[in-house]
Amino acid sequence: MKEYVLEIAKRAKEASMVLANVSTDVKNKALNLMADLIEENAEKIKLENSKDLKAGEEAGLSKAMLDRLLLDDRRIRAMAVGLREIAALPDPVGEIVKMWKRPNGLMIGKMRVPLGVVGIIYESRPNVTADATGLCVKSGNAVILRGGSEAINSNRIIVDILKEACEKTGIPSDVVSFIDSTDRSAVYEMLKLDEFIDIVIPRGGEGLIRFVAENARMPVVYHYKGVCHTFVDKYADLKMAEEICFNAKVQRPGVCNAMETMLVHRDVAKEFLPVMCNRFKDAGVELRGCETTKSIVPWVKEAREEDWYEEYLDLILSIKVVNSIDEAIGHINRYGSHHSDAIVTENYERAMRFLKEVDSAAVYVNASTRFTDGFEFGLGAEMGISTQKLHVRGPMGLEDLTCCKYVILGCGHIRE
């Protein structure tokens, strides 16, 4: 296993050095061809996918897991559309982010260059295979894919198609590599190869992510949890607050950018909470409130200290009434997971304070936290979402798969 993974990583590194200098046109051609070939091979993909689904059923996977695994015509088309969208985005490689002149006339600039080799370790959804490859190839990086064992047949055929598109456009097919093994030791071997793999992105359950974060020798970009808050300020438009909170909790409760705790300013709690809680109740949301919440809406369950840390990923919501914006910000920074948090307010100064002081990857004014997503942000797709501070925070798109090197233009400058 060690030699197998090492060989893949070495070849990926070699290929990445070629890819770094491939023109934007050729990369776009490859991405568009990937999209075409995926559509052309839809039947084959569905056939391989059916093997995974059958094995998944036999292994007793949950209905939700099987749904995530499923590739139907709509989802196959969506993969192709995603690749074409990435092809249409600007190429970040070679961009001069800024350039300035020193007093001695030396021009100093920062140029975007690819990271090199990106490893991605993910579970379940096979469309990640195409998304991740599209983002990496467009940003000049080789990608090493390690999908979940439950999707191995689907991932294998998708990778074959993506590699074929590379070859046909003259890009080394090793820019797309696939760890074709369900053995977990492959992940462990990958994480030791910091000489060849520049960054690793784990996407999946907290167990997988902790394993990667603790064992990787290279930088890891990840988020553990999404404990997202919405703070309904005393200056909120309460109807707007109701729509935003409802959307953030109910539209898709099982994802990381859904709201888990709602904070309400005490001055509006009596007006806001009864209406809001009834709406949540009608949508089947279980509510767990602080003492003040319970004094206003007595049928709400009691929240415990643990609730403030909890990522329910379900139709459950904790509610706290706060005395001030300071208490709201303090609560978010203490109990939150630094993912996505929102304020609803019509007060300018409080909106600015919230933006500045909440220490999260994405901070919102008057919008649902559900927008934290590479596609929604206009990044085309995302490699993952980071709640770390280095090297990026939030959804990771094309630019975030590059770094800047200094370029210095002189005319015979020497140092005195």
Q: What angle in degrees, to the nearest 10, is found between the helix axes of 325-335 and 348-357?
A: 20
**Least distance from a second copy to the Cβ atom of residue 374, Å:** 11
90 binds a second copy (CB under 8 A): no
Say whether 149 sits in a helix, a strand or coil. Answer: helix
| Residue 227, token pair as written in the block | 């404990």
> Residues 85, 94, 149, 224: which binds a second copy (CB under 8 A)?
94
**Least distance from a second copy to the Cβ atom of residue 290, Å:** 24
Strand blocks (E) in 215-285: 228-232, 259-265
Q: Which CB, 50 or 333, lies closer to a second copy?
A: 333
**Least distance from a second copy to the Cβ atom of residue 82, Å:** 17
Binding mask of the shown chain, residues 186 to 225, with x at each position contacting a second copy by CB under 8 A: ------------xx-------------------x------
**Least distance from a second copy to the Cβ atom of residue 94, Å:** 7
> Residues 47, 81, 283, 407: which binds a second copy (CB under 8 A)?
407
- Can you give the three-state secondary structure of 207-234, one letter per residue? HHHHHHHHHCCCCECCCCCCCEEEEECC
| Residue 113, token pair as written in the block | 């260059």
**Least distance from a second copy to the Cβ atom of residue 267, Å:** 21
Q: What angle in degrees, to the nearest 10, is found between the helix axes of 185-192 and 2-19?
A: 50
Q: Which CB, 178 or 335, lies closer to a second copy?
A: 335
Q: Which CB, 166 or 236, lies closer to a second copy?
A: 236
Determine the Cα–Cα distance for residues 293 and 78; give it in Å rounded to an integer: 43
Cis check: omega of the bond before 229, within 30 degrees of 0: no
Q: Which CB, 45 or 201, lies closer to a second copy?
A: 201
Stretch of 2-10, 70-78, 317-325, 365-373 lying at the interface with a second copy (CB under 8 A): 365-373
Q: Which CB, 110 or 281, lies closer to a second copy?
A: 110
Count of residues of this chain found to bind a second copy when the rule CB under 8 A is applied: 63
Stretch of 5-13, 204-212, 247-255, 282-290 lying at the interface with a second copy (CB under 8 A): 247-255
Stretch of 28-36, 68-76, 146-154, 358-366 lying at the interface with a second copy (CB under 8 A): 358-366
Question: Is residue 19 within 8 Å of 137, Cβ to Cβ?
Answer: yes
Q: Torsion angle of alpha carbons 223, 196, 189, 402, nearest 10°? A: 10
Q: Which CB, 302 or 346, lies closer to a second copy?
A: 346
319 sits in which H/E element: strand 316-322
| Residue 78, token pair as written in the block | 């969506």
Q: Which of residues 96-155 bind a second copy (CB under 8 A)?
A: 100, 102, 106, 108, 111, 113, 115-116
Q: Which CB, 153 or 402, lies closer to a second copy?
A: 402
| Residue 162, token pair as written in the block | 């993506």
Question: Is residue 116 within 8 Å of 142, Cβ to Cβ?
Answer: yes
**Least distance from a second copy to the Cβ atom of residue 168, Å:** 25
Q: Which CB, 319 or 344, lies closer to a second copy?
A: 344
Question: Is residue 169 within 8 Å of 29, Cβ to Cβ?
Answer: yes
| Residue 12, token pair as written in the block | 């990926």
Asked whether the CA dihedral 221, 227, 325, 354 is positive or negative, the reply is positive
In sequence order, which residues have a C-beta less than 8 Å from that of residue 316 and are 6 or more positions away?
A: 285, 286, 287, 288, 310
Footprint on this chain of a second copy (rule: CB under 8 A): 17, 20-21, 94, 100, 102, 106, 108, 111, 113, 115-116, 198-199, 219, 237, 240, 243-244, 246-248, 251, 333, 355-357, 359-368, 370-372, 376-378, 389-395, 403-415
